[in-house]
Amino acid sequence: MPAFPTEQILIDRAEAGDPYALFEMAVSIEESALGDADLRRAADYYRRAATRGHLTALNNLCLMAVRSDSVVSVSREEWGRLEELGRSGDREAQNTVGLGHFYGEAADFDYELAREWYTRSAEGGCAAAQFNLGGIWFEAKGVDRDLDKAVTWYSRAAQSGHELALVQLGSMHEKGLGVEKNLALALTLYSCALRRHSKRAAIHLGIMYAKGKEISQDLPTAYALFERSLELRDNADNGTLHPSYIENALYWLGHITEQSPALGKRTALYWYGRGADAGSDLCAKQVERLKRESGPSRARRSSRRKH
């Protein structure tokens, strides 16, 4: 079948001011953004679409302002329009307003207001808000910690297929936090999240296979999962991935490699080295250990070649 010139059509229509084309261009730029300049360019397209009545563009613009660490900003008028949209019953807007208050970006920092907006959105069925509300109770943000409520809201979000909720609920069942410890269910939840290309889930599953938790130990599968976790691009909606996730994956890649005669210590040193560069003290210690262990043998080989 011939290729259709859809990209050029959208570019031309966006230049003509079509709000749908402007929105599509914004989404495409944001998803492939490599730096601040790309984020600002995406925001400009969202803003142009929003001024032409595209409500999802307005929400996405404000969402970028909340999570871009001040790279993107919105005016009081734009934020006011989002709040008005939220008060009219728009669930996505309600969640974004909640995020604004939670992080103090584009809105006053206020956990109580964040919880109120999240609750409106979550009760209306927004999975992202259900996850965020679970986080309020899990992390005790402006409230006493309540793991029962956290599990309730994480479960509702997970039942809608929310990737982070699946991972968080899996972790709670793996550790027995607020629920009875259930490794089989944790395995299921992580697997569901991995089907949604979750970087976090790949690492959690890799550790379960590496340690033989609930399943037979399978180091090749664990290795493949850790490698895959490095290849997966984390969804921007998930927020910043904590460095410990990547450090964990790199440590385990080095550790598993050490156990494999076919791969050997040189490959292990490569993975540990990457982990050390990423900030892992544990990986740095393994690098030092391997270098100490290989030092004397190299000296002996060098000495033999001289005779």
Asked whether the predicted pLDDT for residue 214 surpasses 50, the reply is yes
pLDDT (0 to 100) of residue 236: 56
The confidence band for 105, taking pLDDT boundaries of 50, 70 and 90, is: confident
More confident residue, 70 or 181: 181
Mean pLDDT confidence for 117-145: 98
Tell me the C-alpha distance between 1 and 77, whole Å. 47
pLDDT (0 to 100) of residue 3: 54
The secondary structure of the chain in percent helix, strand, coil, rounded to multiples of 5, reads 75, 0, 25
Q: Which SS3 state, helix, strand or coil, does residue 241 take? A: coil
More confident residue, 6 or 236: 6
82-108 per-residue burial string, b: 16 or more CB within 10 A, e: under 16: bbebbeeebbbbbbbbbbbbbbebbbe
- 37 Cβ contact partners less than 8 Å away, ≥ 6 residues apart: none
Asked whether the predicted pLDDT for residue 97 surpasses 60, the reply is yes
The candidate with the shortest Cα–Cα distance to 127, out of 92, 162, 170, 155, is: 162
pLDDT (0 to 100) of residue 267: 93
pLDDT (0 to 100) of residue 34: 84
Q: Which residue in the block uniquely carries the two structure tokens 């599968």? A: 221
| Cα-based distances in Å from 140 to 12, 157, 177 | 49, 19, 14
pLDDT in tens, 223-277: 999 999 999 987 656 566 788 899 999 999 999 999 887 777 899 999 999 999 9
pLDDT (0 to 100) of residue 81: 98
Mean pLDDT confidence for 66-79: 92
pLDDT (0 to 100) of residue 85: 98
pLDDT in tens, 150-163: 999 999 999 999 99
Mean pLDDT confidence for 137-150: 98
pLDDT (0 to 100) of residue 272: 96
Mean pLDDT confidence for 200-226: 95
pLDDT (0 to 100) of residue 1: 45
Mean pLDDT confidence for 68-95: 96
pLDDT (0 to 100) of residue 239: 63
Mean pLDDT confidence for 39-46: 97
Asked whether the predicted pLDDT for residue 307 surpasses 50, the reply is no
Q: Mean of the per-residue pLDDT values for the chain?
A: 92
Helix axes of 55-67 and 19-31: crossing angle, nearest 10 degrees: 30
DSSP string, 11-32: HHHHHTT-HHHHHHHHHHHHHT
pLDDT (0 to 100) of residue 285: 97
The confidence band for 69, taking pLDDT boundaries of 50, 70 and 90, is: confident
Asked whether the predicted pLDDT for residue 282 surpasses 80, the reply is yes
pLDDT (0 to 100) of residue 298: 47
